[in-house]
Amino acid sequence: MNEFPEHLDVEAIRADFPALARTVRNGNPLIYLDSGATSQKPVQVLDAERSFYERHNGAAHRGTHLLGEEATDVYEGARAKVAAFIGADAGEVVFTKNATEAINLVAYTMQASPGDEILITEMEHHANLVPWQQLCQRTGATLRWLSVTPEGRLDLDDLDQMITGRTKLVAVTHQSNVTGTIPPVAEIARAAHDHGALVLADAAQSVPHQPVDVAALGVDFLAFSGHKMLGPYGIGVLFGRADLLEAMPPFLTGGSMIEVVRMEGSTFLPPPQRFEPGVPAVAEAAGLGAAVDYLSALGMSAVAAHEESLTAHALDALREINGVRILGPDTTKDRGGAVAFEVEGVHPHDVGQVLDELGVAVRTGHHCAWPLHRALGVQASTRATFYVYNTHAEVEALADGIRYAQRFFGARQ
């Protein structure tokens, strides 16, 4: 295995994740290759949530009592950690429910009219596609998209024609959840800004897996979810440039986001509170803060290097299996650790079921990226995704499991 160098102390990391110690079907140890859907959680994150409830449970930004004050500190402390993690100011970090809600926040508060264009890509997760379709339906704006090459890269040949003075916003993934492709977001952002368009990056699959700095990327908005980066469900992040957030109307309204309320009407707090109505998810924020601490202690460059090593191994191992076609780039250049593939003669659901019998958890289907699958000429695929706790032995187990599925279904090998 020396050809695939180690960048993290994976055995020590695995000891922090209780779920990884369990056995699953047929008494097999769990081999969790579905972190692209949701990651497992380390004890540090579980402890942060538990300790909040045990000691500090009060409503942030509401109580005048000590617990309310402590809850506010926990919540705002988590915001500061998240902001530092992506190179933003705390005031530019809005807590949402998840990446999906973060993108909807922008899509529903944005003004557009007939003649305006929204540019997306064929590579997007439905979360960064359907809200823009809806915006265009509501406003009469036009939806345009960049296509993908057969290799699963963005086709940027006609970027110049696609981004024009009519483009209002470009929404693009920062790492595909299917092919792992990492599009040149900084380059796209420069082109968009040259034409006065805004840029939103869907970072649901990048912030958990690679160093991300919003200033270096040059994006105006960035969205991601806590549960894919070792944190809890129910909390996500919208980064928005301060001046843009300041100019945006509220999305959801109610308590905690108002300045003055009269029967005739209300005024609203400055960002980020303007976009955080209701009692906030403080325990979830505490968990997300602990997840950020955990990833920062590992170092995001080491996390990315570890995943690159696993991905290189997986691409090698899968290439050696006759009848397996990898979707997307077949080298790790500008590519993260999502490896989707089809097995000739075996339906992805059957591949997934056989792997599950062996204890290998993968995802099957279109992975909320139906247009991308169509563009790549497949209905569905099987997808393995890697994270800090995965090992090279697990990559081998995946390859062995695929071979076993081929034998089981009498497929060509």
Ligand X SMILES: Cc1ncc(COP(=O)(O)O)c(C=O)c1O
Q: From the CB of 100, what's the least distance to ligand X, in Å?
A: 3
Question: For residue 364, what is the enclosing H or E element?
Answer: strand 363-365
The reply to whether 120 sits near ligand X by the rule CB under 6 A is: no
- The C-alpha angle with vertex 307 and arms to 184 and 200, in degrees rounded to 5, equals 30
Neighbours of 377 (CB within 10 A): 10
d(CA 83, CA 105): 18
* Binder among 71, 93, 135, 204 for ligand X (CB under 6 A): 204
* Binder among 31, 110, 120, 127 for ligand X (CB under 6 A): 127
Q: From the CB of 61, what's the least distance to ligand X, in Å?
A: 24
* Binder among 35, 100, 104, 181 for ligand X (CB under 6 A): 100
94 touches 275 (CB < 8 A):
yes
Applying CB under 6 A, the span of 62-70, 120-128, 238-246, 327-335 interacting with ligand X comes to: 120-128
The reply to whether 205 sits near ligand X by the rule CB under 6 A is: yes
* Binder among 225, 311, 364, 382 for ligand X (CB under 6 A): 225
**Closer residue to ligand X in complex, CB, 176/406:** 176
Separation in Å, CA 337 to CA 113, 306, 308, 315, 367 = 39, 10, 7, 10, 15
The letter for the amino acid at 106 is V
Q: From the CB of 99, what's the least distance to ligand X, in Å?
A: 4
Query: Quick one: which of 144, 133, 145 has its CA closest to 108?
Result: 133
**Closer residue to ligand X in complex, CB, 38/142:** 38
Both structure tokens of 177: 């959840």
**Closer residue to ligand X in complex, CB, 238/282:** 238
306 touches 75 (CB < 8 A):
no
Applying CB under 6 A, the span of 43-51, 93-101, 109-117, 329-337 interacting with ligand X comes to: 93-101
**Closer residue to ligand X in complex, CB, 72/176:** 176
The reply to whether 98 sits near ligand X by the rule CB under 6 A is: yes
**Closer residue to ligand X in complex, CB, 86/358:** 86
Separation in Å, CA 17 to CA 41, 46, 248, 301 = 6, 10, 40, 21
Query: Quick one: which of 75, 336, 121 has its CA closest to 207?
Result: 336
Q: From the CB of 284, what's the least distance to ligand X, in Å?
A: 12
- The C-alpha angle with vertex 113 and arms to 111 and 117, in degrees rounded to 5, equals 95
**Closer residue to ligand X in complex, CB, 182/399:** 182
Active site members? 368
Q: From the CB of 204, what's the least distance to ligand X, in Å?
A: 3
3-state secondary structure of 398: helix
Question: In whole angstroms, what separates CA 288 from the centre of its chain?
Answer: 14
d(CA 283, CA 344): 46
Which residues in 143-202 contact ligand X (CB under 6 A)? 173, 177, 202
The pattern of x and - marking residues 351 through 390 that bind ligand X according to CB under 6 A reads: -----------------x----------------------
Residue 155: phi and psi, rounded to 5, are -85, 105
Q: From the CB of 409, what's the least distance to ligand X, in Å?
A: 28
Applying CB under 6 A, the span of 95-103, 140-148, 214-222, 354-362 interacting with ligand X comes to: 95-103
Q: List, in sequence order, every beta strand (DSSP E) within 219-300.
A: 221-225, 236-240, 258-262, 265-268
* Binder among 60, 93, 99, 235 for ligand X (CB under 6 A): 99
Q: From the CB of 393, what's the least distance to ligand X, in Å?
A: 26
Both structure tokens of 60: 């942030």
Residues that bind ligand X (CB under 6 A): 98-100, 125, 127-128, 173, 177, 202, 204-205, 225, 368
